Each structure stands twice: as structure tokens, then as C-alpha cells.
Amino acid sequence: MPIYKTNEKNNNGLLKYKVRYNYTDETGKAHSLTRIAYGLAEAKELEYQLSRSVTETAPSKYTINDLYDEFVKSNQVELRGTTLRVYETYYNNYIRNIIGNVVLTKINGKILNSWKNAVNAMDIQLTTKRSAYGKLKTLFNFAVRLDYIAKNPLEKIPNFKDSNYQKKGIDFYTPEEFSKYIAVARHKAASTNYFDYYIFFLIAYYTGLRKGEIHALRWRNIKGNTISVEKSITQKLKGDDVETAPKNKSSIRTIQLPQVLLNELKEHRARQQNVIPGWTEDGFICGYSRSLRDTSIENENKEYSTAAGLKHIRIHDFRHSHASLLINRNISPLEVAHRLGHSTVDQTLKTYSHLFPKESEKAVRVLDSVHESYTNNMD
């Protein structure tokens, strides 16, 4: 295992070394691992660790299924339970029965291309195929980090494509459209004396919260004119709902509520207190004892949009409606990002870039105003 010294140094003045380890796997195929270290002591330690990783952690009959099991075990703490369940669904449906029993070190382009053809033959959406590809790529990246393989074999195989596929754009209701929509929802609520769906859609539009975040809202989350987002609920087809932390750290947030929503929540609170024995602030705002069912919410959504003579939009599009409303009222991207719980402002700009005012036009107006001022002073 050679160690090569270079003339480069890091900020601490330590020389850069390249540590290369050559080995042959159980199939007789030659491999080479190259890593970077700074300082001779670190290079020698890296040399030792590389030799151990290959000789001790690359079982001769280690399959893709074995890799997946190790991936789940290693990420049980770092990844949310819902995320791991998504991985499980994709792995079981689109990977396990096709290449799961293949030995990891025997994976090659031919095998992966056959896997891709098998998935392509399935009657599923392109987005599902692309997601399956992403999950498999993540799995191989995990194997690279463990030094089970030198590089990701899926890098040479492009993701699924469809020349006729057009990515769905962002859909939303304008304020005028939402007024028609919510008027229908209000009429239905009044006629049935059940306002929980009506309140659900008010919260979705006026806060931009994700569906799972609205499901998890309890009355104790409201303090004054603010509401705190602390949890998210995922509904399972079978079994109990799963309540977890929101999507990311930025999703744990407190946002101010407009007066129109505060007034509606105050009335909804009074209605629940009048009909629910032993009412407490631990109850869900929508559904009280159990969050509203996703299927029922979507059924109501379709009914309202049809009755209002509007296009049908997804539940998630009410979040886009909230964002578009703020952006078109010149609210800063920073505030929009905070209200939506985005991890970065860049995420907001990337998602809604087409909705923000053209900065180039604004820049030209500023420059023109400077020129006019200069000309007037010359006169």
C-alpha cells in the first residue's frame, strides 16, 4: 500500500499525502482505493484503516439485501421513521425482488441496466421510477462510504426519462378564487353544523402549513396571535397515525396569524367546547380526538371546487396558494421561507422563482431614476 507525498500543504502547514490501497476481491477483480491525508502520521493511520476496511468489512457473499438491512440499522436514529418507511416501500417494490440477491461486488452496468428495464416495464409513474433510482443510488453511496465498493456503479446508468413527460407546474388559487372556494366550504359547514373541514382549509391557505403539520395542530399550539408548529402526523393505511417532528429543523417554527383566521379559530374553539365533554387544549384543532382523514379531506376538496366552478387543486397546492399570495404582495423571500418552514431561502427562491417580480426590470427603473436626477441637476 503506497503512500505518496505531494508538494501541497493545508492551512496548518501539513503536507498532503495520497494513500493508495490495491486489492483483489473474491471474484479476482482488481480494485484500487485512493484517499487523501495531511501529515505523515495521519497518512499511516489512514493506510491501516483502509487495509482493515477491505479485509474485514467486505464479506464474500454480501448481497444488496444485506446492504439494505445494514443501511436501515445505521440510519434508525438519523432518519425519521416516515423516511425509513418510504425507503422500505421503494426497496420492497422495485429493488428487492429484482437485484436484492445479487452479491454487491458483482454489481455491474449490465445488471443495473436489466434492473432499469424491469422497472421501466412496470405500470407506474415516471416520478416513482425516478424515486426508485434515487433510493438505489443512496444505497450504493452508503456502500462507498463503508468502503465496500470503490465507487457508485449507478453513476454510469442515467436516471429514467420520458420524452413526453412534462413536470407538473405549481398550481394555486388566486385570492378571488379562494374566496369562492371557501364560501362554498362555509355554506357546507353551516348546513351540517360541522366546521372542521372548513377550518382545515382556512389554516392551509392562511398559514401555508403542510397537511401533516395541520393534522398535528392542537389548541395549545395557539398563543395570542401566533401558532407554533412542533409536530407532523402521517396517516398509515393500516394502524395508528404516526406523530413525529416536522420535515426539518426549520419546519419547527412559530408564525403570526391574520385576524381573519384568529376570529374563525375563536369561533371554532367555542363550538367544540359546547359539544365535546371534557374539552381540553390537548385536542386537535381539526378533528379534536383524531385528525381528519386524508381521503375525506380530498373528497371535501373536490366537492368545494366543483360547486364553486373552480379547477381542482391538490391539498398541497393550498400551501403554494399561500406562498403566491405573499410573493405577489411583495413580502420578502426570507419571511416567505420562514412561514413555509423551508430550510433555506434558496429553496424558496428555487421553488417560486417564476412568481417573484423581475429584478432586472426593477434595476433598470432605479438606473433610469438616477439618470433623470443627474439630468435635472445639469439643467
Q: How many residues does the chain have?
A: 379
In contact, 248 and 232? CB cutoff 8 Å: no
Report pLDDT for 150.
84
Query: For residue range 217-242, what is the model confidence (pLDDT) as tens digits?
Result: 999 999 999 999 999 998 875 567 88
**pTM above threshold 0.85:** no
Cα(94)–Cα(77) distance, integer angstroms: 25
**Among 155-164, 203-212, 276-285, 316-325, which stretch is predicted with the lowest mean pLDDT?**
155-164
Confidence of residue 191 (pLDDT cuts 50, 70, 90): very high
Cα(334)–Cα(345) distance, integer angstroms: 6
State whether CATH 1.10.150.130 applies to domain 64-156: yes
- Report how far Cα 41 is from the mean position of its chain's Cα atoms: 41
Cα(267)–Cα(91) distance, integer angstroms: 47
Report pLDDT for 56.
46
Half-sphere exposure of 57 (CA within 13 A, CB side): 15
| 3-state SS, residue 228 | strand
Say which CATH superfamily domain 175-352 falls into: Intergrase catalytic core (1.10.443.10)
Report pLDDT for 167.
55
Look at 365 and 212; give whichever has higher pLDDT.
212
Confidence of residue 153 (pLDDT cuts 50, 70, 90): very high
Residue 107 has pLDDT above 50, yes or no: yes
What percentage of the chain exceeds 90 in pLDDT?
A: 55
CB atoms within 10 A of CB 352: 21
Residue 45 has pLDDT above 90, yes or no: no
Report pLDDT for 200.
98
Confidence of residue 78 (pLDDT cuts 50, 70, 90): low
What percentage of the chain exceeds 70 in pLDDT?
A: 85
Cα(261)–Cα(209) distance, integer angstroms: 14
Query: What is the average pLDDT across 64-76?
Result: 89
Report pLDDT for 48.
67
Domain residue spans of the chain: 3-57, 64-156, 175-352
Classify residue 320 as exposed, middle or buried by CB count within 10 Å of its CB (0-12, 13-18, 19+): buried
Mean per-residue pLDDT of the chain: 86
Give whichever of 1-10, 245-254, 303-312, 338-347 has the largest mean pLDDT.
303-312
- Report how far Cα 281 is from the mean position of its chain's Cα atoms: 30
Residue 206 has pLDDT above 70, yes or no: yes
DSSP designation for 284? B
Are domains 64-156 and 175-352 of this chain identical in fold? no
Give the DSSP per-residue string, 316-370: THHHHHHHHHHHTTT--HHHHHHHHT-S-HHHHHHHHGGGS--HHHHHHHHHHHH
**Among 112-121, 175-184, 349-358, which stretch is predicted with the lowest mean pLDDT?**
349-358
Strand partners, 341: none
Report pLDDT for 40.
85
Residue partners of 108: CB distance under 8 A and separation at least 6: 153
Residue partners of 73: CB distance under 8 A and separation at least 6: none
**Among 109-113, 140-144, 242-246, which stretch is predicted with the lowest mean pLDDT?**
242-246
